[in-house]
Chain A
Amino acid sequence: MTENQSIHHNPIALHKALDRIWGTKPGWGRLAAVNHNVIGVRFMLTALVFFAIGGVLAMLIRTQLASSQSVFMDAETYGQVFTMHGTIMMFLFAIPFFEGMAIYLLPKLLGTRDLAFPRLGAYGYWCYLFGGMILIGALLAGVAPNSGWFMYTPLSSSVYAPGINSDVWLLGITFVEISALSAAVEIIVTIMKIRAPGMSLDRMPIFAWYMLVVATMMLIGFPPLILGSILLEVERAFDLPFFDPTRGGDPLLWQHLFWLFGHPEVYIIFLPAAGAISTILPVLAGTPLAGYRMIVAAIVSMAFLSFGLWVHHMYTVGIPHVALSFFSAASALVAIPTAIQIFAWLATLAHGRARFSIPMLHIFGFFFVFVIGGLTGVMLAMVPFDWQAHDTHFVVAHLHYVLVGGFIFPMLAMAYYWVPHLTGKQPVQHLSHAAFWMIFIGFNLTFFFMHLTGLRGMPRRVFEYPPEFGWEVLNFVSSMGSFVMAMGFALIALDFILLFKFGRAFRRNPWKAGTLEWAMPTPPPPYNFASIPRIDCRADLLDPDVIGPHLAAGRGYLGIPRDDRMEVLGVNSVTGEPEQLVLLPRQTFLPFWTAVATGSFFLLMLFKFYWATPVALAAVIVCFCLWSRSDASSFDDDAVPIGHGETVPVHIRAESPPSYLAMVLTLVADTTLYISLLFGCLFLWISAPNWPPENLQNPNLWLLILAAATMSLGSIGSRISKKSAHMALVGNGLAFAGHLISTGLLISIAFYSLPSPSGHAATASLFVILCYVALHGVVGSIFAAHALLRALRDHDMSVRALDLKIGGLWHDYSAASGFAAVGFCLLLDSLVHGGGL
C-alpha cells in the first residue's frame, strides 16, 4: 500500500512502475515482445523493406521495357519479376503496412493501453515475416512464382507450371494471410471492446470507424482467397481436379474466388489511407471533419458495394451481358461513396484555414493522382470500353494511379505527420519538398502516358515488343519517369534518416491535433497512458495539452498498477461504459514458437514431405493449447476497483468478454470460407465442362447423416455441461466422444466409400467438404478434451464458464456444418441424377 501511495499522482514513479510491467525485455527478450508499439513498428519497417524490394523489381521492369527487344531479361525472368513485383506490393507491403499502422495507432486513438490480443498480434507478425521470407528466398533462388499476381490456372497448375514456383505463391501467401486474418479479428475486437470509458460509437475518432469497416472486410474477403489457394494447392499436390476442365473442373472458379477477394482488397488498401486523411486533413485545416455521419454511412456502403463488383476483372471471360451489368453498375456506384468522402474533405478545407505543410503537400498529391485513378476506374467499369482496355497497359496505368494515389501519397502524408510521434523529433525539412516533387512528377511521367501505350495496343506482361509496333517512345518516357520517381523515394529515405539523426525535440502536440495519441509522451511509452481517460465528446475534438498531464499523473482510470498485471478496461460496444477489467497476457515466447511451428508446416508442404506434416500440425495445436493457460482466474472478487470509485468484474467473469467476440468473428470468417466452398462446387455444376460425371456414386448417405448426428452430440454435450459442475464431466465427455466418432466416420466415408477424388471435380468437392467437417470435428474434440481436463481438475465453475461458452460456439458451428454437408450431398445428387431438376 505504501508503494501505491508514493506512486499516487507522481508521474515519474508511475511511469517507472508501468514501464517495468509493460516494457519489452532487451536481448532475446525481444522475441517475446507482445506490445503493440513494438509489433506495430516491426510490421511497418518490415513492410517498407518489402516495398524497397518491390520497387527495385519495378525498376527492373522499366529498364527492360525502356526499349524494344531489350536483351536485359529473358521471358522467364521477366515473368518472375512482374509476378513478384505485384505480389510483394499487394501482399507484403500494402496490407501489412496499414496493419502495422493500425496496430500502432488504434490503442492510442481509442485511449487505451494495448490491443485486445497482444499475443495474436505478435503471432501475426512472425507469420508475415516468415511467409515473406519464403517468397524472397524463392526470388533469390530463381524459382519465384511466375504466372502473374493473380495466378490464373491452368497456367499455374502442375501441368503448365510443374516447378515449385506456384507452390511458393500459394503456400507463402496463405501463410502471410494468417496475419491478415488475425489482425482483422484483433482490430475488430479492440474497436468494439477496448476503448476509453465514455467513448460511445458516435464519439469514436473517425479512423476507428474506417478500421472497423476495413477489418470486417478482411474477415469476409480473405477466406475466398485462402480457399482458392487451398484448392489449387490440393490440385497441384494431390491431383484433385477443381480447375481442370478435362475432369469437370473450371479455370473460371479460380478467377471468381480470386477476385471475390481481389477487388475488396483494393478497398481494403484504400480505406485505411482514407481514414488517415480524414484524421490528418481536419487538423491541418484547423477545423473539425465535415460530415462525420455521412462519411460513416459512405464507408459502410462502400464496403458492401465493393463485394459486388469482382466480375469487372472478368468482363472478357464470356459471362452473359445481363450478369456483367450487375457488376458494371455496382462498379459505377462505388464511385459515389468515394465522391462523398472527397467532397467532405473539400468542405473541411473550405471551412478551415489550411496550414501549408509537408503532409498537406502529399495530400495534394493524393487528390491529384487518386482522382485520375478514380476517373479511369469508372471508364474501365463500362463493359464496352473494358473490352478494349482490359489487360493492356491502360489497366497498369489505372491501377498504379489508384494504388499510388490511394495508398503511397497518403502513406507519405501519414509518415510526415506521425513520425514525430514515433520518434519524438520534428523533421528538418530540407529534402522534403524536392522529394515530393520528384515523386510526383516522376510518377505522372511514368504512368500518365502509359494509358496511351495501352490504348495503342500494348498488352500488359509482355517482356519485349518489336520496334515497328510504335510503342517505343511512350515506353521510354515511362521508364525515364520511373527513374526520377525512384530517386524521389531515395530522397525520402534520406530525409527520414536525417530526421532520426538531427530532428529537433518538441513539447506536446506539434500539429495542435485533437486526438488522444498526442496526449502522451513521445516517443510513446509501452503502456501509452499512465491512466485511462474518460471521454465526453467526440474523440477528435479533445485537448491533448490538458488531458496529457492529467493522465500522466494517474488521475484517470487504472492509475495505480497492481500485482504486475497488464490491465485495460473493456467497455460496452455501443455506449462505451466500462464493463470489465481486461487482463492482458504478459510478454511470452509462445507466439514466436507457434509461428515457427506453423512455418514448418508450410515448408514441409512446399518441399513435399507430406508424411511429416501431421507432426507440424500437432506442434501447432500443442502450442495453441499452451496459450490458453491464463492467470486471470487468480482474481476472486466479482468487483474490482478501477478508480473514480467504480468497480467492474474481471473479463473472464464478464457478460461478453473479448475472447467470446473473437470466437464469433473467427466463425464468421470460417462460415465465409465454407459458403464459398459450397457455392464453388455448385458453380462447377453450372459452368464446368464434362458434367455430369459418369459415375457419381454418392457417399453412403446414411453413414453421412449418422456422422452429422454424432457431431451434434458436441453441441448437446456443451449445453449439458453448462448446467452444473457435476454435469460438466458428462457433457464434455459426450461432446468429446461425439466429435471423435463423427470425425472417424467422415474420414472413413471420404477415404473409403467415395470413388477416387482425382477422377472428377464432383467427387473432389465432396471429398473436400467431408474433410472440412472432419477438421472441425478434430478441433471440436480438442475443445472438449480441454474442458474435460479442467472439469477434472475441478476449477471454480464461474472461471470455466467462459471456456464453455467459447467451446459451445464451436460445437454448434461444427454441427451445423455437418448438416450443411448432408444437405449439399443431397442437392448435388438430385442435380446430377435428376437430369437438372
Chain B
Amino acid sequence: MPLGGCSGDFSALDPAGRSAASIASLWWAMLWGSFALFALVLGLFLAAVLIPRFGRGVSQKRWIILGGLVLPVPVLTGLTFYAFAHGEFLLRGAVSETDEVLEVRAVGRMWQWQFSYPSVPGSAVHTDLLHIPAGRTVEIIAESEDVIHSFWVPRLGGKIDAVPGHSNRLRIRADQPGRYGGICSEYCGTGHAGMHFEVQAHRQEDFREILTGGLHHD
C-alpha cells in the first residue's frame, strides 16, 4: 500500500487487527473507485467544455439517464449492501465464529479513561492504560461519568461514544502483541486534546498475570 506504510501509532491505514484491517481495505477499494468516478466526471466536464461537438450525438435525456441513474444506482447498491454485511461482521468482532469475548469496562471522565475487567475477579483498575490479550476479541463497554467522550484505537477498529446514561459496546481485536495508541475523539472540553491512552496487547499466557498484578509491565 503506497501511502499507509509509513504512518505512526494512530493510523487507521496501518491496521493491527482484523476489524481495522477490514475497514482499511474498504477504504482502499472506495478510494480507487472514487478516483475512477472523479476522473470520469471531470473528464466529461473538460471534454464538454473544450472539445467542440463532444457528446452532441447523445441526446440530453440519455446523458442524464446514463450518468444520473445507470452509473450510480448499481455502484451505490453494491457498496451499500456490502457495507451492511461488513457492519454485521464488525459487530460480531470481525470473526466468523464468535469465540468467547473478553469484556472491558471503559469509563471516560474529564479527561482520562479508566479500564476494568468485570469478568476477571481480582483484576486491578487501570487509568489511561488498557491491557488486552492478543488474538482474542475484546468487547469494550463504554460509559461516561460526565460529558460525552469517544473511545478510539485507530489501529484496532472503529470508535464508540461514551454517552452519560448509556453503555455502548464495541468489539476490537489486536492480532499481535504490541502497543497501540488510543485517543478520545468526541470534543469533551479543554482537556480533549490531551485525552490519550495506550493499549498494550499481550500474549495470552502473560495477560492474566498482568491483570492480577503478577507480572511487571511498564
Q: Which residues of B contact A339 (CB under 8 A)?
A: 67-69, 71-72
Q: Are B63 and A375 in contact, with the CB atoms below 8 A? A: no
- Determine which of B60, B91, B188 lies in contact with A321 in the assembled complex, contact meaning CB atoms within 8 Å: B91
Partner-binding segment picked from B116-124, B157-165, B197-205, B208-216: B157-165
CB contact under 8 A between A251 and B165, given known A335-B76, A388-B20 = yes
What band does the interface of chain A fall in when counting residues whose beta carbon is under 8 Å from B?
35 or more
Interface flags for A135-159 (1: CB within 8 Å of B; 0: not) read: 0000000000001100010110000
Contact segment of B80-88, B97-105, B127-135: B80-88
Please determine whether A332 and B63 come into contact, CB atoms closer than 8 angstroms.
Answer: no
CB distance from A805 to the nearest CB of B (A): 43
B residues less than 8 Å from A383 (CB atoms): 83-84, 86-87
Instruction: Knowing A160-B146, A367-B41 are in contact, say whether A343-B66 is a contact too (CB < 8 A).
Output: yes
A350 within 8 A of B: yes
CB–CB B147/A388 < 8 A = no
Task: Determine the chain A residues whose CB is within 8 A of the CB of B49 once the complex forms.
Answer: 349, 354, 356, 360, 364
Cβ-defined contact, A154 with B193, below 8 A:
no
Distance from B196 Cβ to chain A, minimum over Cβ atoms (Å): 8
Name the CB-closest residue of A to B11: A456
- Rounded to whole Å, the gap between the CB of A62 and the closest CB of chain B is 16
Q: Counting CB contacts under 8 A, is A382 at the interface?
A: yes
Per-position binary interface string of chain A over residues 337-348, scored 1 when its CB falls under 8 Å from any chain B CB and 0 otherwise: 001111110111
Q: Which of A336, A459, A463, A689 has the most CB of B within 10 A?
A: A459
Known contacts: A152-B187, A378-B79. The answer to whether A349 contacts B159 by CB under 8 A is no
Point out the residues of chain A lying under 8 angstroms from B44, CB to CB: 346, 350
| A456 engages B7 (CB within 8 Å) | yes
Chain A proximity mask over B1-24: 1 for CB below 8 Å, otherwise 0? 001000111111100000010110
Q: Mark interface residues in B150-189 (1 if CB within 8 Å of A CB, else 0).
A: 1010100111110111101100000000000101111111
Instruction: Give the distance in Å from the alpha carbon of A336 to the alpha carbon of B164 in the complex.
Output: 37
- CA–CA, A347 to B37, complex, Å? 17
Cβ of A698 < 8 Å from any Cβ of B? Answer: no
Q: Contact: A382 with B30, CB < 8 Å?
A: yes
A318–B88 alpha-carbon span in the complex (Å): 14
> B125 near A: Cβ within 8 Å?
no
Stretch at the interface among A464-472, A611-619, A735-743, A812-820: A464-472
Residues in B neighbouring A387, C-beta threshold 8 A: 23, 90, 157-159
Cβ–Cβ contact B188 & A155, under 8 A: yes
CB distance from B139 to the nearest CB of A (A): 13
Known: A250-B165, A332-B76. A384 touches B38 (CB 8 A): no
Closest to A74 in B: B190
A385 surroundings in chain B (CB, below 8 A): 23, 26-27, 30, 83
Which of B23, B52, B54, B187 contacts A384 (CB under 8 A)? B23
Chain B residue contacts of A455, Cβ below 8 A? 11-13, 27
Does A79 have its Cβ within 8 Å of any Cβ on chain B? yes
The reply on A755 being an interface residue by CB < 8 A is no
Report B-chain residues with C-beta under 8 Å of the C-beta of A468.
8-9
A180 to B99, CA, bound (A): 54
Assembled-state Cα–Cα distance A460/B158 (Å) = 16
Interface-lining segment among A322-330, A667-675, A709-717? A322-330
Which of B9, B60, B91 has the most chain A CB atoms inside 10 A of its CB?
Answer: B60
Docked Cα-Cα span, A389 to B150, in Å, equals 13
Contact A384 B185 (CB under 8 A): no
Residues A251 and B30 in contact, CB atoms below 8 Å apart: no
Contacts of A318 in B (CB 8 A): 160-161, 163, 166, 168-169
The answer to whether A379 and B27 touch across the interface, beta carbons within 8 angstroms, is: yes
Q: How far is the CA of A321 from the CA of B87 in the complex (A)?
A: 8
Which residue on chain B has the smallest CB distance to residue A331? B80
Residue interface mask A55-93, B partner, CB < 8 A = 1: 000000000000000000011100100000000000000
> Is A390 located at the chain interface by the 8 A CB criterion?
yes
Q: How far apart sit A367 and B48, CA to CA, in the bound complex (Å)?
A: 13
Provide the residues of chain B in CB contact with A379, threshold 8 Å: 27, 30, 34
| Max count, chain A CB within 10 A of own CB: residue among B52, B164, B184 | B164
| Complex Cα spacing A76 to B60, Å | 54
Q: A317: which B residues are within 8 A, CB to CB?
A: 161, 163, 166, 168
Q: Is A372 an interface residue (CB 8 A)?
A: yes
Q: Is B95 an interface residue (CB 8 A)?
A: no
- Most chain B CB atoms below 10 A, which of A364, A372, A462, A465: A462
B163 contacts A368, C-beta separation under 8 Å: no
Q: What's the Cα separation between A251 and B162 when bound, in Å? A: 11
Name the B residues within 8 Å of A350 (CB-CB). Answer: 44, 48, 54-56, 58, 63
Residues of A within 8 A of B80 (CB): 328-329, 332, 382
Contact indicator A462/B193 (Cβ below 8 Å): yes
Q: How far is the CA of A108 from the CA of B85 in the complex (A)?
A: 52
A39 at interface (Cβ–Cβ under 8 A)? no
In the bound complex, CA of A348 to CA of B60 (Å): 7
A347 pairs with B60, CB closer than 8 A? yes
Cα A75 to Cα B58 with chains together (Å): 57
Nearest residue, chain A, Cβ from B158:
A387
> Are the CB atoms of A349 and B150 closer together than 8 Å?
no
Where chain A touches its partner, the secondary structure class is helix
A388 to B168, CA, bound (A): 16
Which residues of chain A are within 8 angstroms of B13 by Cβ–Cβ distance? 455-456
Q: Does A11 contact B (CB under 8 A)?
A: no
Select from chain B the residue with minimum beta-carbon distance to A154: B147
Whether the pair A336, B73 counts as a contact (CB closer than 8 A) is yes
Specify which of A250, A316, A318, A336 lies most central, judged by the most chain B CB atoms within 10 Å of its CB.
A316
Bound-state CA distance A339–B188 (Å) is 37
- Is residue B61 within 8 Å, beta carbon to beta carbon, of the partner chain? yes
B146 touching A154, Cβ below 8 Å: yes
Q: How far is the CB of A441 from chain B (nearest CB, A)?
A: 16
Instruction: Indicate whether A461 reaches chain B with its CB closer than 8 angstroms.
Output: yes
Asked if B148 CB lies within 8 Å of chain A CBs, one says: yes
A384: chain B residues at CB < 8 Å are 22-23, 26, 83, 86-87, 90, 158
* CB pair B58 A324 closer than 8 Å: no
State the Cβ distance, B3 to closest chain A Cβ, in Å. Answer: 7
B170 to chain A, nearest CB (A): 8
| Residue from B64, B87, B150, B185 in contact with A294 in the complex, judged by beta carbons closer than 8 Å | B64
B residues in contact with A74, CB < 8 Å: 190
Whether, in the assembled complex, A525 has its beta carbon less than 8 Å from a beta carbon of chain B, the answer is no
* Cα distance A344–B8 in the bound complex, in angstroms: 44
A392 within 8 A of B: yes
Complex-state Cα separation, A375 to B44, whole angstroms: 17
B67 & A325 in contact (Cβ 8 Å cutoff): no
One of B34, B45, B148, B185 near A364 (C-beta < 8 A): B45
The distance in angstroms between the C-alpha atoms of A148 and B187, with both chains bound, is 8
- Does B20 contact A160, Cβ atoms closer than 8 Å? no
Contact B87 A324 (CB under 8 A): yes
Closest chain-A Cβ to B180's Cβ sits at a distance in Å of 10
Compute how far the CA of A541 lies from the CA of B45 in the bound complex, rounded to whole angstroms. Answer: 24
The complex places the Cα of A75 from the Cα of B60 at a distance, in Å, of 54
Chain A residue with Cβ nearest B63: A347
Residues of A contacting B41 in the complex (Cβ-Cβ under 8 angstroms): 342, 346, 367, 371
User: Are A316 and B68 in contact (CB-based, < 8 A)?
Assistant: no
Which residues does chain A contribute within 8 Å of B186, judged by CB atoms?
Answer: 152, 391
| Cβ of A503 to closest chain B Cβ, rounded Å | 26
Q: How far is the CA of A339 from the CA of B55 in the complex (A)?
A: 17
The answer to whether A392 touches B185, judged by C-beta atoms less than 8 angstroms apart, is yes
Which residues from chain A contact B91 at a C-beta distance below 8 Å? 321
A588 at the interface (CB under 8 A from B): no
Is A52 in contact with chain B by the CB < 8 A criterion? no
Given A378-B76, A390-B159, A455-B12, verify A371-B42 contact (CB < 8 Å).
yes
**In-complex Cβ contact of B67 among A328, A342, A375, A376 (8 A):** A342
Question: Can you list 10 pairs linking A and B with CB atoms under 8 Å apart?
Answer: A76-B190, A160-B146, A367-B41, A372-B38, A382-B26, A389-B12, A455-B27, A457-B154, A459-B192, A689-B166
The 6 closest A-B pairs by CB, nearest first: A387-B158, A245-B165, A457-B10, A350-B55, A343-B67, A340-B68
Known: A347-B60, A383-B83, A456-B8. 10 other contacts (CB 8 A): A154-B164, A245-B166, A318-B161, A375-B38, A379-B27, A384-B83, A387-B157, A388-B158, A469-B9, A469-B181
